[in-house]
Amino acid sequence: MAIARLPLIAVDCPDPGALARFYGAMLDWKVDVLSADRAAACPEDGQCIAFHRVADYTPPTWPGAGRPKQMHLDMLVDDLDAAEAAVLALGAAKHPDQPGTAYRVFLDPAGHPFCLCLAQA
């Protein structure tokens, strides 16, 4: 029996509504902006990603350790080129350091790294 359940992942950021809309659009999830300090993106039947405002938010640096990333999200895609174009159109930035070939590293609008990974890789 599990000790706990994981209903959501909370991510610090400067603008919760904007980041929830970014991930909601990328994942086709419902966005709920609760306040200027809290928002979430959730699928119909699963866990959510919550976004919490941090007043003096500073994005992580990657791959350097000046401000460690601490965590990142890997998302599966069927076509890296199409997914890249779509996340760039949503406001992501492609990171200049691309260490792999079966995945690509991006920064969300708040500077958090995330990867798009080939589903069959």
- Span 87-106, average pLDDT: 94
pLDDT digits (tens, 9 = 90+) for 40-74: 999 998 889 999 999 999 999 888 888 887 778 88
Return the number of other C-beta atoms located less than 10 Å from residue 70's C-beta: 8
CATH label, 1-56, candidates 3.40.720.10, 3.30.720.120, 3.40.50.1370, 3.20.20.70: 3.30.720.120
- The pTM of this model reads 0.83
Do 104 and 94 touch, CB atoms closer than 8 A? Answer: yes
d(CA 94, CA 88): 7
pLDDT at residue 28 tops 60: yes
Cis peptide before 60 (omega within 30 of 0): no
Give the pLDDT confidence score for residue 121 in this predicted structure: 55
Region 58-121: CATH code: 3.10.180.10
Provide the angle, in degrees to the nearest 10, between the axes of the packed helices 80-90 and 16-27: 150
Break the chain into its structural domains and give their ranges: 1-56, 58-121
